[in-house]
Structure 1
């Protein structure tokens, strides 16, 4: 069951949107793998060329969220999401066309990666702000469960699909099918016909940095942002060193390593399905904290894994699965809580500020992971990254969050003074 009374079955507009969003996420995952494959296999660009394409694809996540959030704040989002999909489709279609014409080059791939990445930022920030206008408030948790569940499934299937397409058709021609996926996404999102309200015009002129202000002054958003930022930085430290320790030092094959990691996606998908039932039974805050205990605590076991390569693969898969279950639950609850406590006219710019912080830490975490790996060794660096994941839970352990029963209870009381910025400081407990 996807929703409390099958939201997909009874809400045609959400069904179209969900279909388009799912296809878009799947296309994005294929793009992340397929573009570097074109650089490597078709152009024989080497490690530096592949890194340039991959970096260009991720760079907009660091540079654009504040600008895009500010820009989307006073605009209808659905038509801009459709435009973003059409831009991605057009940009990717250039690659197979250039391949056929013999004009494919590394600078072209870097440009395409930048354009596709920038359009992806518009689509993602727009989608976060658009969904609460598409469904009734009582359906918002169920809508997020459906979206997060299909997104998780797409993230698991996307890399494998990219590899299969590249194997069958070649990396460059495979991008023609990837471009078609964005066209299908544009159709799905575009068919969601529920009238989108005109964004409210605020009494004051909002600045580009207002997205950061919205995050800073709200205690719930501060806690979520601090957790996600610490989590992403620590995850980079863990990821950078895990492949070295497991594959290079311990001798686990790349295939088994990939299968072990994919267990996280399976767990996350199951976690999304059970998230709302758990929240109803245990309460929102307790469920959230319990999910974080799984997602951030279980990886502490990775550095203790020993034995044969088969034992290592099974142990790593088990850790990834359990951690993934917690991550799937936490993702649904986090998105719903943010969409509930943030005023509708601040959804876009607050998400821009949120993404700026949680994605901006990724290159720092990767660099820190490399430094720790060189200084301490890969196994110790894996342990350090896992410890960072566990510590990222601390901002979410306040009594305010633990005792939250429903996301609606986190809304500010009308007429009440805003909470002081330091309300939760010094003491995640």
Structure 2
């Protein structure tokens, strides 16, 4: 069985958690837009300074996951998540306060971005292990669909809301909206009163790098990790060259380009909402494979799109919509599968190991994207990135994954070595 219906209606605790998470997700999108604008519009920063702030925000995803996962494994996650939200609220409140006091600077923004990013790693690592304890296992896919749906909706509407707030309040004051959103998230987590199971007793022999072991040794986690890491690296190659190829080489209007890209978010939201229905209709493994056919297969067409102007934008939008649809489905199914097959006494460590690998390859993808684009041209780089995304599906074509009727079936040992790949 994939899920029980009506989780948000009948589960008060999850409803509170989800409400706080939804507000926070929108706030995060506001900061993603507003913080660089603070640097550009308020401090008149150049590209290098904006890049330094972005790098500071990303670094915690590479530095801290394994340590955080190790430290949280033997702690109750709820209180840690509340503390992380409060920390993020206080950190982001520094930006408007510093602006009003006249002491705002690029180094201060970089420090805030880094520390808020670190608190985000703590929250996300704890949340990965907290949600499976908050709802019954039969409701886990529905819980993940709700969480992913909020996140996708925020990615669609959040930048627009951020733009309105920046215009009305100015970029520095707009960051205060994200600070308030983390307070709302903390209230939502605190209001979820379902008792959290006692954490496992500390293993004195465990080391912080043990979070990498399950993602390497468990065949399902290994396949998911190799797929996600390869996809992320290839997506970087693809995405950083797409704007050059479409706007500079093909002469597409920047407004039409942005509108076409937004179709991806619409597709992802539709896919997120359809994920569980598709899993019931086709079986979990076949639904996953179908989703990957959209998310990694359709982008292969983008480097070959004909036409100019509105026609080119329309073709790009259709590709983005279809790819986003598949990605929305895959994100829900992947998250649930990882939570179910991860060792129960090592959920945070396993989630942290997975996070480290799939985020750690992103700088490499950016470097490769720049190298390929500058030497072979943006069209070749777009094609290479889309080919890499398609190749990322290979680990997911093993028969044990395709044959999953439900995510719980992945707990049964299956001989991957004897399985034939998809034809």
Runs of 4+ aligned structure 1 residues displaced above 4 Å come to 424-429
Q: Is the 8 A contact 1:92 1:178 kept in 2?
A: yes
2:259 paired residue number:
259
2:124 paired residue number:
124
Following TM superposition, by how much is the alpha carbon of 1:202 offset from its aligned partner in structure 2, in angstroms?
A: 5.5
Distance 1:96 1:203 in 2: 44
The correspondence of residues 67-78 of structure 1 with structure 2, limited to 5 A, is 67-78=67-78
Following TM superposition, by how much is the alpha carbon of 1:428 offset from its aligned partner in structure 2, in angstroms?
A: 7.0
Distance 2:44 2:10 in 1: 50
2:384 paired residue number:
384
Q: Is the 8 A contact 1:267 1:323 kept in 2?
A: yes
The correspondence of residues 26-41 of structure 1 with structure 2, limited to 5 A, is 26-41=26-41
1:25 paired residue number:
25
Following TM superposition, by how much is the alpha carbon of 1:426 offset from its aligned partner in structure 2, in angstroms?
A: 10
Following TM superposition, by how much is the alpha carbon of 1:273 offset from its aligned partner in structure 2, in angstroms?
A: 1.0
Q: Is the 8 A contact 1:219 1:424 kept in 2?
A: no
Distance 2:117 2:340 in 1: 28
Distance 2:197 2:57 in 1: 32
- C-alpha spacing 1:203/1:115, structure 2 compared with 1 (3 Å): closer
2:328 paired residue number:
328
- C-alpha spacing 1:384/1:8, structure 2 compared with 1 (3 Å): same
The correspondence of residues 145-294 of structure 1 with structure 2, limited to 5 A, is 145-201=145-201, 205-294=205-294
The number of residue pairs the alignment matches comes to: 421
TM-score, normalised by the number of residues in structure 1: 0.95
Distance 1:52 1:325 in 2: 33
Q: Is the 8 A contact 1:341 1:412 kept in 2?
A: no
Out of 338-347 and 43-52, give the one that drifted further: 338-347
Q: Is the 8 A contact 2:214 2:343 kept in 1?
A: no
Following TM superposition, by how much is the alpha carbon of 1:343 offset from its aligned partner in structure 2, in angstroms?
A: 2.4
Distance 2:257 2:419 in 1: 40
Q: Is the 8 A contact 1:235 1:365 kept in 2?
A: yes
| DSSP 3-state at the match of 1:251 | coil
1:92 paired residue number:
92
Following TM superposition, by how much is the alpha carbon of 1:269 offset from its aligned partner in structure 2, in angstroms?
A: 0.7
Distance 1:207 1:123 in 2: 21
Gap regions ≥5 residues in structure 2: none
Gap regions ≥5 residues in structure 1: 414-418
Q: Is the 8 A contact 2:251 2:308 kept in 1?
A: no
Distance 2:131 2:370 in 1: 38
| DSSP 3-state at the match of 1:209 | helix
- C-alpha spacing 1:424/1:377, structure 2 compared with 1 (3 Å): farther
Q: Is the 8 A contact 2:340 2:408 kept in 1?
A: yes
Following TM superposition, by how much is the alpha carbon of 1:254 offset from its aligned partner in structure 2, in angstroms?
A: 2.0
1:318-339 alpha-carbon deviations (Å, 9 max, x no partner): 0000011110111111001111
